[in-house]
Structure 1
């Protein structure tokens, strides 16, 4: 590599680090303001940096800035990135819809799976985790759209709120899995505060039976304040940290 090319690459890395650092500072300011409005501590809200479509170099920048939780939507991308960043002290969150045929791969690197929404997935994931001699935290994904039909792998995924407790029971009973709490995505076109209020109710019911299930994963770049107002402990943020994704990327 020529000296000029090296200088150019270093300058690009520095600029990228400065941009992400500025975005992180702005994000933390938003979190602090939302927490102040709702008499909460910012320390109670964990940022899960969703790095879908972004390179491992961005993960390294985030880790250097103090981010310890990284989320991915797709197994193929997540597996490679987790391996490339295996030297970093990170917790890997799988936040996308998980097909059972990907459970073996996810069991190798994920620390938390946010999208557990059916019995078959609980059993398959538990089996794969035991094979890997690991333990994974699981969140019950709750479907907050009362007008949607919950299928094997729906557009958003999630279990009907009435069935969330039963799925939590199954996670607790499955060796290798631990119940962490709940996750949801606010339906399009509805006030996110009202949506997340329904999640809060489901989370409270599960926590009453399982006090360890304290995680409420809710809120993204556009609706994190509403989620924090309804008790979110983990927000899943990509755009606010890393910038808008290419419109041609899924």
Structure 2
């Protein structure tokens, strides 16, 4: 058994244990294997071990990988900051964009959705912890932003995404994930056109267990899968 398969088993066990602890159904949680700086051979090993969803941070790296992977049975998510001028490269190749955080990007996504003939699914990125180094909207900006999006055709909001500050003790950032979940419930009550709160993309290698306990439906894990033993 290779290191990727071993690591995947450990990650899946953590997700299952956290879901059980929170009384959640494991089928409601999708593991997004983050492929940033990961070799094609390791990505293929993950896919061979049952990974069905891959997440990439950079458009240029994504374009190289999608060409090199030999028709893998996977779905791709764009999880990193997305520049408006890069939408044209990925709009027809990804299932979900995790990092919608400004109206100019939404309008660009709408433009390319016309070529597809269907809406493009997105998550709104929220900077819950208000870190200056992170992208995303402030919590109090989200309702107004979503109302602006309802005036656009060509994209649907499936939920929210956040990144918690890195910490050795994940309990210190539990509040970040809880706050995002609470926000999603408040936004769902608005019943906005084209806006659903189905997904919460939160939790990474160091804090995925706490995120799952707080309601994550998409966990973005790279190092814990691909970083070796």
- Structure 2 CA distance, aligned partners of 1:114 and 1:93? 7
Aligned residues: 222
- Structure 2 CA distance, aligned partners of 1:76 and 1:223? 28
1:157 — aligned with what?
135
Q: Higher relative contact order at CA 8 Å, sep ≥6: structure 1 or structure 2?
A: 2
* Contact 2:185–2:197, Cα closer than 8 Å, also in 1: no
Deviation at 1:133, TM superposition (A): 4.1
- Of stretches 82-91 and 121-130 in structure 1, the one that deviates more from structure 2 is 82-91
5+ residue gaps in structure 1?
Answer: 1-16, 150-154, 245-250
- Please list the CA deviations of residues 68-117 of structure 1 after superposition, one character each: whole Å capped at 9, or x if unmatched: 11000000001121233362222111111111111111213121110001
Deviation at 1:58, TM superposition (A): 2.4
2:76 — aligned with what?
92
- Structure 1 CA distance, aligned partners of 2:43 and 2:28? 22
2:32 — aligned with what?
48
Match of 1:166 among 129, 140, 144: 144
- Structure 2 CA distance, aligned partners of 1:107 and 1:164? 23
Deviation at 1:166, TM superposition (A): 2.5
1:124 — aligned with what?
108
1:177 — aligned with what?
155
* Contact 2:57–2:78, Cα closer than 8 Å, also in 1: yes
- Structure 1 CA distance, aligned partners of 2:121 and 2:224? 26
- Please list the CA deviations of residues 169-218 of structure 1 after superposition, one character each: whole Å capped at 9, or x if unmatched: 34444322121100000134682101111111111122232573210000
1:115 — aligned with what?
99
Distance 1:108 1:79, change over 3 A: farther
Distance 1:172 1:242, change over 3 A: farther
1:218 — aligned with what?
202
- Of stretches 39-48 and 53-62 in structure 1, the one that deviates more from structure 2 is 53-62
5+ residue gaps in structure 2?
Answer: none
* Contact 1:207–1:214, Cα closer than 8 Å, also in 2: no
2:185 — aligned with what?
204
TM-score with structure 2 length normalisation? 0.89
Distance 1:161 1:69, change over 3 A: same
Deviation at 1:65, TM superposition (A): 1.4
1:14 — aligned with what?
none
Give the number of the structure whose alpha-carbon radius of gyration is greater: 1
- Please list the CA deviations of residues 6-57 of structure 1 after superposition, one character each: whole Å capped at 9, or x if unmatched: xxxxxxxxxxx62111111111111111112211122221100001111233
* Contact 1:144–1:187, Cα closer than 8 Å, also in 2: no
Superposition RMSD in Å: 2.0
1:192 — aligned with what?
173
